[in-house]
Amino acid sequence: MDSQLTSIPEDFYSFETGQPFESCLVCKADLLAGDIDYFVEKAIRNYHEHDVKDVVYEYAICWHCAHEMNGQMSEESMQNIQKYFSRQDLFMKNIQEYNTKEHLEDENPIPDHCVITGESVSKLDEYMIYGHFRGDKMVKSTMPYLLSGSVMDDVSDLLSNETIDQLDDFMGEYFGGPPELEELWKPRRPVFF
């Protein structure tokens, strides 16, 4: 097996099927065939009082569609996001540590804390996880992220109106539903294509 690939952690499985995502949300490409890199993003809400968590939204998107969506993001938004992450000392330290560490096959690569704030996932009301995959494996050379709700809010505040409209259209097209639910989702736009 390629040393840069490892088993997909169950946290990145589809909530609906309990299995790895099979197809790209946008183009429906077969993700498990093994010849396409893809990304999974999941927004999760913790209900501490009931000791449960719920998936707010989740999707898998192939590299091609992610690249195309990324290209539609405004230059202003891209620069703001790049600046934000490059200024985060803990994030840069986490990337450096991840890239120099040897990863064991049975080790869960998902951080147990926000990679920006350092807050423990057990204390977060909301968080987002993001990972890079190929076929039925996770690509170890790309650090998986766990970001707190407050970081997602910070990133959303960096987006131009043009990008917000684009992401709202994306959410409406692929996650549309009753208007009261769509309002709930708006603050949690996917931004890590």
Residue found by looking up tokens 């690509």 in the block: 139
Look at residue 169 in the predicted model and tell me its pLDDT.
82
Residue 129 CA to residue 116 CA, distance in Å, equals 13
Amino acid occupying residue 51: D
- Burial label, 82 (beta-carbon count in 10 A; 0-12, 13-18, 19+): exposed
pLDDT grade, residue 105 (50/70/90)? Answer: low
Look at residue 183 in the predicted model and tell me its pLDDT.
52
Look at residue 141 in the predicted model and tell me its pLDDT.
75
pLDDT grade, residue 188 (50/70/90)? Answer: very low
For residue 58, list its beta bridge partners: 42
Span 115-136, average pLDDT: 94
Residue found by looking up tokens 């449960």 in the block: 52
Residue 142, CB-side half-sphere exposure with 13 Å CA sphere: 15
pLDDT grade, residue 181 (50/70/90)? Answer: low
**DSSP symbols for 50-107:** GTEEEEEEEEEEEHHHHHHHHHHS-HHHHHHHHHHHHT-HHHHHHHHHHHHSPPPTTS
Instruction: Tell me the whole-structure pTM to 2 decimals.
Output: 0.84
Contacts of 46 (CB under 8 A, 6+ apart): 52, 53, 121, 122, 124, 125, 126, 127
Look at residue 47 in the predicted model and tell me its pLDDT.
92
CB of 159 within 8 A of CB of 180? Answer: no
Look at residue 67 in the predicted model and tell me its pLDDT.
93
Give exposure, 92-121, as e/b (b: 16+ Cβ within 10 Å): eebbeebeeeeeeeeeebbbebbbbbebeb
If DSSP codes are grouped into helix, strand and coil, which group holds residue 37?
strand
Q: Tokens for 85, please give them.
A: 């992450």
Look at residue 170 in the predicted model and tell me its pLDDT.
81
Look at residue 137 in the predicted model and tell me its pLDDT.
95
